[in-house]
Amino acid sequence: MTLELVGLALGAALAALAVVFVAGPLLRESARGERRAPADDAHVRLLEQRDRALAALKELEFDHRTGKVSDADYRALVGPLRREVAGVLQALRPSGKRPKREVDVHA
């Protein structure tokens, strides 16, 4: 009878070790993901800012081509929008990496 209890205790210990072995990496990955959330949030905000600035630039160019925006207003508005897009793209670029080719934003 005591041998059966020892067997049950060893079986329970082995089951507990198996659970820890299987669940351990999953729990560590979950904790790592939670620590990265603020950086991910900042990246998402930059992506949203980029998308808004590009959409505004596209809309401004469309309005200028269709005559809704005068040449003078277009020149006054396009520079700041292009600088905003360039700044966001620079912030999104991994540090230390340069683009393969330089692009003239004033073209």
Whether 88 maps to a domain, the answer reads yes
pLDDT of 37 over the 90 cut:
no
Whether 107 maps to a domain, the answer reads no
Whether 28 maps to a domain, the answer reads yes
pLDDT at residue number 29: 61
pLDDT of 36 over the 60 cut:
no
Whether 11 maps to a domain, the answer reads yes
- Number of domains present in the structure of the chain: 1
Instruction: Indicate yes or no: pTM above 0.75.
Output: no
Distance of CA 33 to CAs 16, 19, 38, 79, Å? 25, 21, 10, 39
Q: What is the mean pLDDT of the chain?
A: 79
pLDDT tens digits, one per residue of 10-30 = 777 777 767 677 777 777 765
CB burial of 31-45 (b: ≥16 within 10 Å; e: otherwise) equals eeeeeeeeeeeeeee
Handedness of CA 73, 75, 78, 80 (dihedral sign): negative
What's the pLDDT band for 107 if we cut at 50, 70, 90?
very low
Nearest Cα neighbor of 81 from 59, 101, 103, 48 is 59
pLDDT of 44 over the 80 cut:
yes
Block residue for tokens 């939670």: 34
Whether 12 maps to a domain, the answer reads yes
- Tokens standing for 3? 């041998």
The average pLDDT across 66-88 equals 94
